[in-house]
Amino acid sequence: MSDLKFSVQGESSSATQFIGKTRQFTLVVDEPQSLRGTDEDANPVEYILAGFAGCTNVIGHVVAKELGFTINNLKIEVSGELNPNRFLGTSNEERAGFKSITLSLIPDTDASIEVLAEWLQIVEERCPVKDNLQNNTPIKIAVEKEYNTI
Measured distance CA(60)–CA(66) in Å, rounded: 10
Minimum CB separation from its own copies for residue 33, in Å? Answer: 11
Residue 13's identity, in one-letter code, is: S
Minimum distance of its own copies from residue 99's CB (angstroms)? 8
Give CA–CA dist 31/17, Å, rounded.
7
Burial, 20: exposed, middle or buried (Cβ in 10 Å; 0-12, 13-18, 19+)?
A: middle
Number of residues that bind its own copies (CB under 8 A): 116
Residue 101 DSSP SS3: strand
Q: Could you tell me the smallest distance in angstroms from the CB atom of residue 35 to its own copies?
A: 8
How near is the Cβ of 68 to its own copies at its closest, in Å? 14
Scan residues 75-114 and list those touching its own copies (CB under 8 A). Answer: 75-90, 95-109, 113
Among 68, 93, 114, 146, binds its own copies (CB under 8 A): 146
Q: Which residues contact 129 (CB under 8 A, 6 or more apart)?
A: 51, 52, 54, 55, 56
The verdict on 6 binding its own copies (CB under 8 A) reads yes
Within residues 43-72, the interface with its own copies by CB under 8 A covers: 43-63, 65-66, 71
**3-state DSSP call for residue 108?**
strand
Residues 8-47 that bind its own copies (CB under 8 A): 8-12, 15-18, 20, 22-23, 25, 27, 29-32, 35, 37, 41-47
